[in-house]
Amino acid sequence: MSSTRSGILETARRLITEQGPQVSMAEVARAAGISRQAVYLHFSSRASLLVAVVRNMDEQNGIRSRCEKALTGEEPVEAFRAFLRVWLRYVATIHPVASVLLASRRDDPDAAAAWTDRMGELHEGFLVAAHRLGAAGRLRPGLAPDVAADLAWAMTSIPVWEQLTADRGRSAGDVEEHLIGAVTAALTGDPTP
């Protein structure tokens, strides 16, 4: 990645955290010390810039490969728990940007595009895990894999994590442990350890 592109992404990330996703291409250019045209040479639209910012965060943290590795565990329930652990630990890292995008997505189509892009890929990981649980006969009776994926995805969402940590004052570690237990129990019917 070119140093200009990298600088644009880091500047945009900082501005999103400070001002929200409504930051303009001109503001990013000004803060990065480059022309607006230079920003447009790298990103065709504000939506493409926001999507690139969140994808870059994921790439820098290697979240995709860490989630994929977690899901390769031999025992499906333990692999699911490992996947949840990787995701929930990552939430703390992305929370400053993710919460801003979430709050703005209803009124800002560009923020919605970035949110949908990342949450769609995350949901695919939940689908893989749920299908694996189903194939192993570990989903509770009557629970289809697609419904299981939806439930797990929603129960470990950034708003749930935020409510438990920010609103209820729980530590990220406690939230991680309780959500892993609750979500696993909800999908498998096994008692929480």
User: Is a pLDDT exceeding 70 seen at residue 76?
Assistant: yes
Highest mean pLDDT among 96-100, 102-106, 172-176: 172-176
| E-assigned strand segments in the chain | none
Maximum Cα–Cα distance across the chain: 59
Q: Is the pLDDT reported for residue 1 higher than 70? A: no
List pLDDT tens digits, range 101-133: 888 888 889 888 888 988 999 999 999 999 999
Q: Which of 86, 191, 172 is nearest to 129 (CA)?
A: 86
For residue 54, with 0-12 CB atoms within 10 Å meaning exposed, 13-18 middle and 19 or more buried, which class applies?
Answer: buried
φ/ψ (deg, to 5) at 179? -70, -40
Confidence (pLDDT) at 57: 87
Residue 34 CB partners (closer than 8 Å, separation 6+)? 4, 7, 8
Write down the pLDDT at residue 187: 97
Does this model's pTM top 0.95? no
pLDDT at 190: 84
Sequence-ordered list of residues with C-beta below 8 angstroms from that of 119, at least 6 positions apart, any chain: 153
